[in-house]
Structure 1
Amino acid sequence: MHLDVVSTGAELDPAAAVRLRRAAEAGSLVRVARGAFTDRQAWDAADARERHRALIRAVMPRDRQGLVLSHASAVAVHGLPWIGSFGDRVVVTDPGRDRGQVKASIQRVGGRGRSLATVSIDGLRVTSLAATAVDVAIREHPWRAIAVLDAALRRGVTRTELGAELEGRRMRNPRVVRALVRSTDGDAESVGESITRWGAVVLGAPPLALQHEFRHEDGTVDRVDLWQPDLGVVIEFDGLVKYSDPAMQRGRAPHEIVVEEKRREDRLRRHRDVTGVGRATWREAMPGGLLPRILLDAGLPLGDRWPAAWRAAAIRAL
């Protein structure tokens, strides 16, 4: 969905501007930013990403000179995955500033001295995929960052490019940022796979491979989300959307999907190479969830200091 934004700027005659404001007061329009409005019904039907894109369209015509869309706003424009809110401000990098600045609808990040890799999208100057992923890794929660990094690799960005973007960058926690870049994997097909794998890294579990296929004697092939070959452990992410999204249901009732999933898990448990199977949902894979217990019960050892690492991950809110 594309939200059309109408502005009360100088190009609009005063009478039309008054009509827009009155429509907003009456509730048929939504105020996106100062002097910028969109249709209420379209706004209510839009998701968080398209609402943020509407905010960008409302703000950037007034503040675009020399500024580069970056961070969460670049994620929204690139169509990369994102956990949580995009925020109520457009985020830009300002090559002319040493320090950041926050205003009502725009947040400037200081970019003086930084060589900005950019692309043009819909007439807007945006940080490149690699630069966007590294910006997010440096400034955002690791669970949010790993999903963006994995998606960037899936689109063709290389770890070498990510490493080059890291050179010379100031970081509050370089150890975590570099661990995120080392751990990123373009084979991740969903945010759930990304955060479950990263949670296992934080917990000190053995490395998990993505998208492993198991062939059964009857010819059936099951592809699993995460696989530890040395220990024979399968970890699946169960996003639950398969039970409610018509596109994923493919005409099946939810109870039929549950039965199919049970049969699939039974096949995996019978496979000669599999010693254990664990399933994680969003609640369990997020910081502070029950992922440690799920991994341990499936047969994956965790690092000696995993309780402290898991508590620390839960302290910083998404």
Structure 2
Amino acid sequence: MISPYRGIYAEAAYWNQLNPKQRTLHILEALSRRHLNWVYAGLSAAAAMNLEYTWTLLKDDAVYVVSGPGRQAHTRAQTTPVFVSSDRFCTVRYVLGETTVSVLTTTPARTLVDCALRYPFRVVLGMFDSALRRRLTDADAIIDECDRVRADCGPVFRLLHYADARSENGGESLCRATLIDSGFAVPELQREFTDPDNAWHSRRVDFVWHTDDGRTIVLEYDGMRKYVDPSMTKRRDIQQVVSDEKTRDDMLLRAGVTTVVHATYDDVVTPGALWSKLMDARVPRTDAIPFYEHE
């Protein structure tokens, strides 16, 4: 047995096979049975809502609980209090195995604001993208929450400026945030190209830039699951997956694309790797710095 949180125990074999987000959800479920009035905030609320972010954020093992007027202050070593003056909370339900769990959390808008003020832009953009894609909240509600927070909400407005519900997953959001932080122009998302040799054949790409000199550059984010997950490879071997990728690239070139760039998760998280690929492809730059972008 292991104890991931004071007073909570789990079988080591079962616990070790869980990913960081699943571990967080189990801890919230156990705590919710012991503390019925606890309201989870920040990253804990984001996990319960299944907002998309990198699991590296969960390395601190902290549980974020609302504190404020009329609420007990949480001083336990593994519990981080988040001051919230309002009592606008919501019930979030998620599934663990065959059990549906209900926990109290801050609203989606407040959860996004708290995470935006605590974590870097590049790892929070996926939360904003996924919340907007699933229509959990909207820009007006997020701005309203900023009025209730005694803090500089500049990071929140920057995230709202770049958030895009068309982003299909957290990996694409992380990739887009990384290239924005690296000073590259914001790409168009989910553009569809039609094969000139076969009007019935089309291909939707992740990112595309149209340059002033007439070039069209496509960036495809290829998560590693594409090569190893049977549900995504459709039982094909890696050689066939790579061959199919080249066939798609050839179609894009026939459709007028000048350059096709492929980036993996490792490219995105390795300093300079994605930057080098985009520079080699001559992707337009804004020469931005992380807090002041140009249109």
Q: Please classify the TM superposition score into its range, dividing by the shorter chain length.
A: 0.7 to 0.9
What does residue 22 of structure 1 align with? none
**d(CA) in 2 for partners of 1:80 and 1:56?**
15
What does residue 12 of structure 2 align with? 40
What does residue 166 of structure 1 align with? 146
User: 2:164 aligns to what SS in structure 1?
Assistant: coil
What does residue 163 of structure 2 align with? 184
- State the Cα distance separating 1:170 from its structure 2 match: 3.3
What does residue 119 of structure 2 align with? 140
Match of 1:258 among 222, 242, 252: 242
Matches within 5 A, 1:9-28: none
**d(CA) in 1 for partners of 2:118 and 2:70?**
18
Q: Which amino acid aligns with 1:269?
A: L
- State the Cα distance separating 1:283 from its structure 2 match: 2.5
What does residue 96 of structure 2 align with? none
- State the Cα distance separating 1:36 from its structure 2 match: 2.2
**d(CA) in 1 for partners of 2:7 and 2:155?**
41
Which protein is richer in strand relative to its size? 2
Work out whether 1:223 is the aligned partner of 2:207.
Answer: no
Matches within 5 A, 1:25-104: 29-65=1-37, 67-83=38-54, 84-86=56-58, 87-96=60-69, 102-104=75-77
TM-score by length of 1: 0.78
Match of 1:119 among 59, 77, 91: 91
User: How many aligned positions are there?
Assistant: 276
Q: Is the 8 A contact 2:74 2:80 kept in 1?
A: yes
* RMSD of aligned Cα (Å): 2.6
What does residue 106 of structure 1 align with? 79
**d(CA) in 2 for partners of 1:305 and 1:212?**
24
Q: Which amino acid aligns with 1:169?
A: V
**d(CA) in 1 for partners of 2:231 and 2:149?**
42
Distance 1:105 1:296, change over 3 A: same
Q: Is the 8 A contact 1:211 1:223 kept in 2?
A: yes
Q: Is the 8 A contact 2:28 2:103 kept in 1?
A: no
User: 1:32 aligns to what SS in structure 2?
Assistant: strand
Q: Which amino acid aligns with 2:275?
A: P
**d(CA) in 2 for partners of 1:179 and 1:97?**
33
Identity of aligned residues (%): 27
Larger radius of gyration: 1
Q: Which amino acid aligns with 1:106?
A: T
**d(CA) in 2 for partners of 1:190 and 1:101?**
34
Matches within 5 A, 1:202-217: 202-216=181-195, 217=197
- State the Cα distance separating 1:115 from its structure 2 match: 5.4
- State the Cα distance separating 1:134 from its structure 2 match: 2.1
- State the Cα distance separating 1:102 from its structure 2 match: 4.9
Match of 2:172 among 193, 196, 201: 193
TM-score by length of 2: 0.83
- State the Cα distance separating 1:77 from its structure 2 match: 1.1
Q: Which amino acid aligns with 2:24?
A: H
Task: Tell which has more relative contact order, 1 or 2 (C-alpha 8 A, sep 6+).
Answer: 2
**d(CA) in 2 for partners of 1:171 and 1:105?**
24
- State the Cα distance separating 1:208 from its structure 2 match: 1.2
Q: Which amino acid aligns with 2:162?
A: S
